[in-house]
Amino acid sequence: MRFLMVVDNPANWPLHVPGVEVVSSRRYLTDPGFNNRKGTRVFNLCKSYSYQSTGYYVSLLAEARGHNPIPDVVTIQDMKSSSLVRVISDDLDRMIQKTLRPIHTEEFTLSIYFGKTLAQRDRQLGLRLFGLFRSPLLRAQFARKADKWQLQSMRPIPASEITDAHRSEVLEAAGDYFARRQWSGPAAKPPRYDMAILIDPDEEQPPSDKQGLEKFIRAAHRLEVGTELITKDDFGSLGEFDALFIRTTTFVDHYTYRFARRGAADGLAVIDDPVSIARCTNKVYLAERLSVHKVPIPRTVIVDQENQGTVIEQLGLPCVLKQPDSAFSRGVVRVDTAEEYQVKVAELLDESDLIIAQEFMPTEFDWRVGVLDGQPLYVCKYFMARNHWQILQRNAAGKIVNGVCETLPWEAAPRKVISTALRAANLIGDGLYGVDLKQVGKDVYVIEVNDNPSIDGGIEDSVVKDRLYDRVIESFIQRIERIRAGIVRRGGWAGPGPV
């Protein structure tokens, strides 16, 4: 991807970063050579963004050309809305109070240059505001009222307001920002597309380990896709990518969902997409969806305050209780006695108006079928942790212990396991899923459909090797190209087929 920095006078912006071209606003608006330039992002640093000014038209024409301008016209207008600023202020209230507590004046102006602030103290607040308002140069105005700081206004800073004293700071911030996004792979030419991979470096049990992430990155380079590992602080940079791959555990009330929503709204190819996150992370939805469509599941009761007393009669003991947004075996408990049931169901119903209760099906292992684009990607047997009823167990020291995993060719798995998994996954969407199933005799039951499934180096890839990673990247490429072609996907993604 190439970056254009559009300014009124390029002589005032001596930025020398490979892949970044500084051009005049007049040239950008009038040179027809820019009309069909693909894979470009425009950073608008004109001296004014007022309606029908040159800066306004730079963002407007950049949108028409598919150049995803920063700021775009919507952002320029949004920052004029006092009601929107109040909402932002409420959302960031705790961070605002903590950051500005040491300031003793009644007013404070925060300048944010490409996500950077002049003071390290303001760094996190600057990153959050940069993430919420896509503009290379931002100014936030705060005022103290009744010993509490409030955000009064947000606006993009036109280049005309950058003083000579601060110009070097802006150039340094721009250089650092663009340098992080340069093509560093082994291919001799720049990438066709750019993909952000969202991770949490501190996550204890991430969906992909370091080896798995490295294999995704190498696969992307082989297929001429640039990659960058991003974290929750990089919300403001999403518009510079063509795709977003979420490789940290997802929840709806969580930054991962906000990333997915923003990416989808900005026209990125997104896995996990926000619809899949909303559907897969709620066990109540899954139980109802699978049941309505006659996909076999363990006997299940949706539990609330009114019917909690009938569950043991319907399912017997032991049974399994699940909070709706449980993940990686967290929020899932087995109860063996009526007394234990009463305690656990009360705890879970304190957190959610509805929970799930299912009959307990003891098996030696769970099947996991990875599904991408409606086709099998990998098949594993996840064996239970030793002397435990789940595949994961936390020992006395707090360390997570995994059961053994056996990966096999999807053709070698029972046909019923594969067909049931595909039926379940296709009821969710066309993304990347991990379908967990139990086999009891000849019968197969879906336990759940996971978005964000595990893909670790040497485990899920142990049969198909690098082809697994290539398939995921190929899917992203096809999604990007279909989005760019304006093809609206209806009735599921027409993927390239199984590995």
Same domain for 336 and 395?
no
Same domain for 450 and 323?
no
Same domain for 381 and 349?
no
Mean per-residue pLDDT for 35-40?
80
Task: For residue 490, name the pLDDT band (cuts at 50, 70, 90).
Answer: very low
For helices 93-100 and 82-91, what crossing angle results, to 10°?
80
Cα–Cα distance for residue pair 22/112, rounded to 1 Å? 20
Which of 311, 334, 359 finishes a domain? 359
Q: Classify strands 137-145 and 107-113 as parallel, antiparallel or unpaired.
A: antiparallel
Mean per-residue pLDDT for 104-129?
91
Position 75 scores a pLDDT of 80
Same domain for 53 and 173?
yes
Determine the 3-state secondary structure of 257 from DSSP: helix
CA dihedral (403, 433, 275, 331) in degrees, to 10, reads -10
Task: Please report whether residue 135 resides in a domain.
Answer: yes
Percent of the chain beyond pLDDT 90?
A: 55
Model confidence pLDDT, tens digit, residues 210-244: 999 999 999 999 999 989 999 988 887 787 889 99
pTM of the model: 0.72
Model confidence pLDDT, tens digit, residues 151-176: 988 888 877 788 877 888 888 888 88
Taking all residues of the chain, what is their mean pLDDT, rounded to a whole number?
A: 87
Position 492 scores a pLDDT of 37
Smallest Cα–Cα separation from 134: which of 42, 32, 21, 48? 42
Give the CATH number, domain containing residue 389: 3.30.470.20
Smallest Cα–Cα separation from 196: which of 131, 116, 111? 131
> For residues 390 and 398, is the Cβ–Cβ distance under 8 A?
no
> For residues 341 and 335, is the Cβ–Cβ distance under 8 A?
yes
Nearby residues of 387 by Cβ (< 8 Å), 6 or more positions away? none
Give the CATH number, domain containing residue 306: 3.30.1490.20
Position 183 pLDDT exceeds 60: no
Name the region of 465 (left: φ>0; alpha: ψ -120 to 50; beta: rest). Answer: left
Winning range, highest mean pLDDT, from 85-89, 157-161, 343-347, 421-425: 421-425
Task: Please report whether residue 499 resides in a domain.
Answer: no
Position 1 scores a pLDDT of 66
Mean per-residue pLDDT for 235-258?
90
Cα–Cα distance for residue pair 212/450, rounded to 1 Å? 18
Model confidence pLDDT, tens digit, residues 11-29: 888 887 777 899 999 999 9
Domain with 38, as residue range(s), is 1-182
Same domain for 337 and 404?
no
Task: Please report whether residue 42 resides in a domain.
Answer: yes
Which of 326, 359, 392 finishes a domain? 359
Same domain for 333 and 447?
no
Give the CATH number, domain containing residue 65: 3.30.470
Mean per-residue pLDDT for 431-439?
96
Same domain for 42 and 86?
yes
Position 276 pLDDT exceeds 90: yes
Q: How far is CA 78 from CA 6, 344, 499, in A?
A: 21, 46, 45
CA angle 79, 85, 90 (to 5 degrees): 155
DSSP secondary structure letter of residue 384: P
Task: Please report whether residue 198 resides in a domain.
Answer: no
Which of 182, 205, 224 finishes a domain? 182
The tally of domains found in the chain comes to 3
Position 329 pLDDT exceeds 60: no
Task: For residue 394, name the pLDDT band (cuts at 50, 70, 90).
Answer: low
Model confidence pLDDT, tens digit, residues 56-79: 899 999 988 888 888 888 788 777
Same domain for 105 and 172?
yes
Mean per-residue pLDDT for 446-451?
94
Same domain for 30 and 79?
yes
Same domain for 355 and 373?
no
Task: Please report whether residue 200 resides in a domain.
Answer: no
Same domain for 376 and 402?
yes
Task: For residue 396, name the pLDDT band (cuts at 50, 70, 90).
Answer: low
Task: Please report whether residue 345 resides in a domain.
Answer: yes
Position 91 scores a pLDDT of 72
Cα–Cα distance for residue pair 219/242, rounded to 1 Å? 16
Least confident span in 200-209, 350-359, 397-406, 442-451: 397-406
Task: Please report whether residue 263 resides in a domain.
Answer: no
Task: Please report whether residue 326 resides in a domain.
Answer: yes
Q: Which amino acid belongs to residue 422?
A: L
Cα–Cα distance for residue pair 8/45, rounded to 1 Å? 8
- DSSP H or E stretch at residue 178: helix 164-179
Same domain for 317 and 425?
no
